[in-house]
Amino acid sequence: MSIRKVVQLMVGTGRVAEPAPQRPEPLPDRPAELNGTVQIRHVDAGSCNGCEIEIANAFGPVYDLERYGARLVASPRHADVVLVTGVVTHNMQEPLRRTVEATPRPRLVIAMGDCARNCGIFANCYGVVGAVSDVVEVDLEIPGCPPTPDAIVRALRSVTGT
């Protein structure tokens, strides 16, 4: 196909985009301090990186989670939410606990993905301590292996209240 035909096809098609995600119901026990904006510290406690790819997609240009007030931060001291992916391994048990303790209150802990919720396919493996709820208190769970960017956006929008 020639370049001219490709350009004509592009111009004739116009802009194609997915519809905006539906507005979720906010969490009833969401701290009032989190209205409209939320700072998220992500912790990989032992995942296969499938969830991390979907987090990148949720914050990418298509889903653009930042437009709803969610932002990834590098320090737990700046965070409102700790987003945990993967099963908790023996080596990550104490760092996860310390990260959650370093996050100022009020804070929320979100277990993202089936591994974080119930160990998924890694249940009963020798290097696994357990699910995130076995190590720290969890406020919200996002199901899926891995969860879709749309599910991540819905869950985090329920936290921000937007």
Beta partners for residue 39, in sequence order: 71
| pLDDT tens figures, 16-71 | 556 655 655 555 555 545 556 889 999 999 989 999 999 999 999 988 888 888 89
Return the CATH class of domain 32-160: alpha beta
Instruction: Give the residue among 90, 146, 80, 148 at the shortest CA–CA distance from 116.
Output: 146
Percentage of the chain beyond pLDDT 70 is 80
Q: How far apart are the first and last CA of the chain?
A: 45
The domain segmentation of the chain, as residue ranges, is: 32-160
